[in-house]
């Protein structure tokens, strides 16, 4: 490194088993040889490690003019940035409020439509009493169970008729 030139490291391997030979094409060999020649030529052309520096006065320093910002300009830019940010968020809030109002109106309309549909269907209000369906069939089932207390399968026809009546009223 530095002022010394580096040398290429060479390794020689002896192959005792001729079946483990790696074959290289002639093109690869030619490329390797040409790269070695290029390296040798480049080593010859390199300048000496310490080049002679011409003596004399050093050139005068060159300063680049960079405009400076005053604290007033910095405060003004910061105030402009804050105003832009405030305007942006104020517009976003107004837009969101408008969208919220639209959604509110849509939801209210949907609620009114649903309430109108419920009134049309006349869904039973909680606490309102409706008549008990299939009273006569119910009495028949109870009478059959009293008549045959130990043989409930004899009342299967009455129970089936009562079940069908309740299902039809439920629909």
SS (H, E, C) 100-166: HHHHHHHHHHHHHHHHHHHHHHCCCCCCCCCCCCCHHHHHHHHHHHHHCCCCHHHHHHHHHHHHHHH
In this structure, is residue 14 part of a structural domain? no
Question: What pLDDT is recorded for position 11?
Answer: 66
* Both tokens assigned to 83: 């105003």
Residue 44 falls within a domain, yes or no?
no
| Residue 41 in domain | no
- Domain span at residue 140? 135-168
Domains in the chain: how many in total?
1
Of the chain, the percentage scoring pLDDT greater than 90 comes to 32
pLDDT of residue 3: 58
156 within a domain of the structure (yes/no): yes
Q: What is the pLDDT of residue 131?
A: 75
Question: What is the value of pTM for the model shown?
Answer: 0.31
pLDDT at 25: 78
Q: What percent of the chain has pLDDT over 70?
A: 73
The answer to whether residue 141 is domain-embedded is: yes
Q: What is the DSSP string of 34-47?
A: HHHHHHHHHHHHSP
Q: Which residues of the chain have pLDDT under 50?
A: 1
Domain annotation covers residue 7? no
In a domain, 159, yes or no: yes
CA-to-CA dists, residue 96 to 53, 84, 93, 110, 133, angstroms:
72, 18, 5, 21, 54
pLDDT number for residue 125: 59
1: its two tokens: 């490194």
Q: Return the pLDDT at 45.
A: 62
Confirm whether 145 is domain-assigned: yes
What pLDDT is recorded for position 27? Answer: 85
Query: What's the CA angle centered on 64, arms 63 and 69, to 5 degrees?
Result: 120
């Amino acid at each position: 490194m530095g002022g010394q030139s580096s040398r290429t490291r060479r390794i020689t391997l002896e192959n005792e088993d001729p079946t483990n030979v790696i074959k290289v094409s002639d093109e690869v060999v030619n490329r390797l040889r040409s790269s070695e020649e290029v390296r040798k030529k480049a080593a010859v052309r390199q300048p000496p490690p310490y080049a002679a520096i011409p003596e004399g006065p050093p050139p005068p320093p060159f300063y680049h003019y960079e405009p400076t910002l005053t604290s007033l300009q910095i405060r003004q830019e910061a105030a402009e940035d804050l105003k832009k940010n405030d305007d942006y968020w104020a517009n976003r809030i107004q837009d969101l409020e408008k969208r919220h109002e639209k959604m509110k109106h849509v939801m209210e309309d949907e609620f009114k439509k649903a309430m109108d549909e419920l009134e049309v269907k006349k869904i039973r209000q909680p606490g309102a009493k409706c008549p008990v369906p299939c009273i006569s069939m119910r009495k028949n089932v109870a009478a059959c169970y009293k008549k045959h207390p130990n043989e409930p399968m004899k009342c299967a026809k009455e129970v089936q008729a009562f079940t069908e009546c309740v299902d039809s009223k439920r629909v």
